[in-house]
């Protein structure tokens, strides 16, 4: 692993693939290993409603495909989106 500015090992995407598989979300953000617990049921209900609205908008305009997170994305700085659209 490369070293970052505060002299600790920076994680790489190769490190991500050997992390334990549990019910938490593991991410490598700017070299830091970040662990986030699973979303709450309320969060999931809000996401479902938002996805329903976005899906209708995207389909009616033939804008692409809506995918719900989590999804592995390498090399992109998307933060932690609840979803995103892939353009055809």
Give the pLDDT score at 1. 45
pTM greater than 0.85 (yes/no): no
Helix (H), strand (E), coil (C) string for 9-72: ECCCHHHHCCCCCCCCEEEEECCEEEEECCCCHHHHHHHHHHHHHHHHHHHHCCCCEEEECCCC
pLDDT tens digit at each of 88 positions of the chain: 444 445 568 888 788 888 878 878 888 888 888 998 888 999 999 989 999 999 999 999 998 888 876 666 666 555 555 555 555 5
- Token pair listed for 6: 């505060």
């Amino acid at each position: 692993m490369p070293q970052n500015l505060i002299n600790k090992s920076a994680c790489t995407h190769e490190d991500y693939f050997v992390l334990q598989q549990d019910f938490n979300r593991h991410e490598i953000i700017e070299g830091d290993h970040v662990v986030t617990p699973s979303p709450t049921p309320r969060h999931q209900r809000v996401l479902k409603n938002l996805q329903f609205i976005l899906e209708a908008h995207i389909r009616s305009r033939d804008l692409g495909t809506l995918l719900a997170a989590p999804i592995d994305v390498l090399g992109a700085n998307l933060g932690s989106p609840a979803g995103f659209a892939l353009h055809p």
